[in-house]
Structures are given as structure tokens and as C-alpha cells.
Amino acid sequence: MQINVQFEDSTDQTIQSVFASPQDPKVWANLGLVDTSDALWETYYNAQSVTVQQYLLAPT
């Protein structure tokens, strides 16, 4: 499954935030999609507290 994310910068190496739906690229910079199997997603997910993790898709 793919997840709408915002990367920290244009290198697309670090996920900064996650969105429930696609966002307007004219308003938000560095948008992209990652799969739940992507290592970047796993890193982002694991950096969140257990309280936040319950609302995110678990890495696969």
C-alpha cells in the first residue's frame, strides 16, 4: 500500500510528515509516495511513539 508523505527536502531521503490523502504540490513542497515496504517508511514509523504508531500503517 502506498502512503502520501512529505520529505524533509528535495533529496527524498527522509520522511518529515504523512498525509491521509494527496496534497497540493503548489502548497506543500517535497511530496511523494512510499510503499509500506519502503525502508524510509519503516524508519519514520519506528521514530514515532506507540501512541502515534497506532494510527499509521505498519511497515510490511
pTM, full prediction? 0.92
Say which amino acid occupies 45. Answer: Y
Instruction: Specify the pLDDT at position 24.
Output: 98
* Residue 60 domain-assigned (yes or no): no
Quote the Cα angle for 29-35-40, to 5°: 65
* Residue 58 domain-assigned (yes or no): no
* Residue 59 domain-assigned (yes or no): no
* Residue 6 domain-assigned (yes or no): yes
- DSSP-derived 3-state class of residue 42: helix
Determine the longest span between alpha carbons in the chain, in angstroms. 32
* Residue 42 domain-assigned (yes or no): yes
Share of the chain above pLDDT 90, in %: 100
The whole domain housing 44 covers 2-53
The predicted-structure confidence for 35-56, as pLDDT tens digits, reads as follows 999 999 999 999 999 999 999 9
- The count of domains in the chain is 1
* Residue 24 domain-assigned (yes or no): yes
Other CB atoms closer than 10 Å to residue 22's CB: what's the count? 10
The set of cell numbers assigned to 48 is 514515532
Which phi and psi (to 5°) does residue 40 adopt?
A: -65, -40
* Residue 41 domain-assigned (yes or no): yes
